Amino acid sequence: MEAKLLYETDRCLHCGSCLSVCPLVNAGVPGNPKKVGVYAARDMRKADYFTTTPFNCTFCLACVNACPVNLPTPEVVKRLRGRVKRPDSIEQLVENVKSSGNIFGMRNDERWIWSIELDFPLEEKIDTKAEVGYFVGCNSAFAPSLSGIPVANITLLERAKINYTLISGEKCCGIPLAMAGEESVLAEIAKSNVEEYKKRGVKVLVTSCPACLRAWREVYPRIVKVPFKVQHATQFIFSLIKRGKIKLARIDRKVTYQDPCELARGCGIIIEPRLLIKETGALLLEFKEKGLEAECCGGGGLLRATNPQTATRLALSKLQEAKLLGSEAIITACPACKQNLLKAGGDIPILDIGELLLTALPSNS
Ligand code: SF4
Ligand code: SF4
């Protein structure tokens, strides 16, 4: 693997395109994607030099998108994170996943705490046979400020009369471990999560977290056969609306969409969220940089755990731009984006796209 990375990084043209788009470099934080890519991969023993640097990366993929030779800088950063002494906050997160199955170290059977906000009992949907599975993800399951995400998505599935299931054995998707440079239990997690949905006869798995989506689509298939389709909630819900299974009323609101890096650059899902916003009748006021060129909000790569000041600074820049656009809400499609934008403060509402759709759901349809 390291030999492959060395080979890859030797292709660097030293053009500097990655530097101009890196949100951390632009925020003046020590670090240099070009140097990480070329020098660190060449001699991993120099990793000590990058003791703090590899954790100053949001895995936003902007460098890869800008690189004329598609150099996998974030992959090198991940390798480095596995080589240096990890900050205590990251060490704790790794231990939590290993011991509890979730990043917070909470009791894993409390994954359904958010469901008290539903106006129907969720119990009968857990561990049942169904064609559609919903993977909640740790952030949405445990962070009180994000409970609206699973509540909205489950309400939309109910409204469309979809037969769906959630699994009591859900474990962290494993991406936070990979981001921490710790891959030792990834295979075990992948096999367990796949088996749980397979047992229930699931044919389509839906998740509202782009990082979870990438785990299911890119990481798990390298470990175990994933015998069903995996979609982001924006794709699945859009297909339900197109099939007439969900009817929306028109809402009068000016909104701005923050493309989550992992969804746009990582999965190429750029159109569906915008089409969903259009379905609500809301007026979409776009950020200057969007889609593949979208600026990172600072919520990825575990940056909030290691460098909260910079994570906040990047988020504030998005909040400010949205305000200047005259936007009344920032819409995103990622729990980490929503959380980071919320933690930055400000008086503009931050909603997941599912939550926006909920506001357009007629009460009696
Ligand atoms: S992934 Fe994003 S934050 Fe990390 S080095 Fe590349 S551009 Fe910078
Ligand atoms: S954009 Fe790619 S080729 Fe150019 S300096 Fe960065 S890593 Fe090297």
Structure tokens at 168: 């009591």
pLDDT tens across 170-180, in order?
999 999 999 99
Residue-wise pLDDT for 258-271, tens only, equals: 999 999 999 999 99
**Calpha distance 357→353 (Å, rounded):** 6
Q: How many CA atoms lie within 13 A of 195 on its CB side?
A: 9
pLDDT at 71: 86
pLDDT, residue 278, reads 97
Confidence of residue 50 (pLDDT cuts 50, 70, 90): very low
Q: Do domains 2-81 and 249-359 have the same CATH topology?
A: no
Cα torsion angle, 275, 215, 6, 40, sign = positive
Sign, Cα dihedral of 109, 115, 121, 125: negative
pLDDT of residue 18: 87
> Could you tell me the pLDDT band of residue 32, with boundaries at 50, 70 and 90?
low
Domain positions in the chain: 2-81, 88-241, 249-359
Is residue 48's pLDDT more than 50? no
- Of 44, 37, 49, 54, the closest CA to residue 303 belongs to 54
Tell me if 54 CB under 6 Å of ligand 1: no
Calculate how far, in angstroms, residue 70's C-alpha sits from the geometric centre of ligand 2.
Answer: 8
In eight-state DSSP terms, residue 166 is B
Mean pLDDT, the chain, whole residue set: 91
What's the distance, CA 314 to chain centroid?
16
Neighbouring-strand partners of residue 332: 258, 352
Where do we find the tokens 């998005």? 318
Average pLDDT for residues 292-321, to the nearest whole number? 95
Atom of ligand 2 nearest to the CA of 70: 2
Does the Cβ of 72 fall within 6 Å of ligand 1?
no
Enter the tokens of residue 332: 């995103």
Reply yes or no on whether the pLDDT at 131 is more than 50.
Answer: yes
Highest mean pLDDT among 8-22, 41-55, 88-102: 88-102
With CA atoms as reference, report the closest residue to 258 among 206, 300, 214, 296: 296
Residue recorded with tokens 């011991």: 99
Integer CA distances (angstroms), 184 to 76, 138, 178, 189, in order: 17, 19, 9, 10
Mean per-residue pLDDT, 169-198:
94
Query: Span 323-333, mean pLDDT?
Result: 98
Which of 130-134, 199-203, 360-364 has the weakest average pLDDT? 360-364
CATH architecture designation of domain 2-81: Orthogonal Bundle (1.10)
What average pLDDT does range 303-314 have in this prediction?
94
Q: Which residues contact 185 (CB under 8 A, 6 or more apart)?
A: 97, 98, 174, 177
Instruction: Give the DSSP H/E element, type plus range, for residue 183.
Output: none
pLDDT reported for residue 241: 97
Task: Please name the amino acid found at residue 216.
Answer: W
Element of type H or E holding 204:
strand 204-207
Q: When comparing pLDDT for 31 and 304, which is higher?
A: 304
Q: Following DSSP, what letter does each residue of 320-353 receive, concatenated?
A: HHHHHHT-SEEEES-HHHHHHHHHT--SS-EEEH
Q: Determine which residue's CA is closest to atom 2 belonging to ligand 1.
A: 60
Ligand 1 center from residue 194 Cα (angstroms): 30
Supply the angle between the helices 2-9 and 73-81 in degrees, to the nearest 10: 140
Q: Is the pLDDT of residue 83 over 80?
A: no
Ranges 10-19, 205-214, 264-273, 288-297: which has the least confidence: 10-19
Mean pLDDT value of segment 277-283:
97
- Weakest mean pLDDT among 6-20, 144-158, 237-251: 6-20
Task: In whole angstroms, give the CA distance from residue 361 to residue 249.
Answer: 6
- Furthest-apart CA atoms within the chain: distance in Å: 63
Is the Cβ–Cβ distance between 193 and 213 less than 8 Å?
no
User: Which of the residue ranges 16-25, 49-58, 103-112, 280-289 would you say has the lowest mean pLDDT?
Assistant: 49-58
What mean pLDDT do residues 44-53 have?
A: 50
CA-nearest residue, atom 4 of ligand 1: 57
| Long-range Cβ contact pairs of 142-147 (< 8 A, separation 24 or more) | 142/102, 142/104, 142/106, 142/110, 142/111, 142/113, 143/335, 143/339, 145/338, 145/339, 145/342, 146/335, 146/338, 146/339, 146/352, 147/113, 147/114, 147/117
Pick the CATH number of 249-359 from 3.40.50.12280, 3.40.50.720, 3.40.50.2300, 3.40.50.11810: 3.40.50.11810
Asked if pLDDT for residue 203 goes beyond 80, the answer is: yes
User: Minimum-distance ligand to the CA of 9?
Assistant: 2
Q: Using the predicted structure, report yes or no on whether residue 207 has a pLDDT greater than 70.
A: yes
Query: How many whole angstroms from 18 Cα to the centroid of ligand 2?
Result: 6
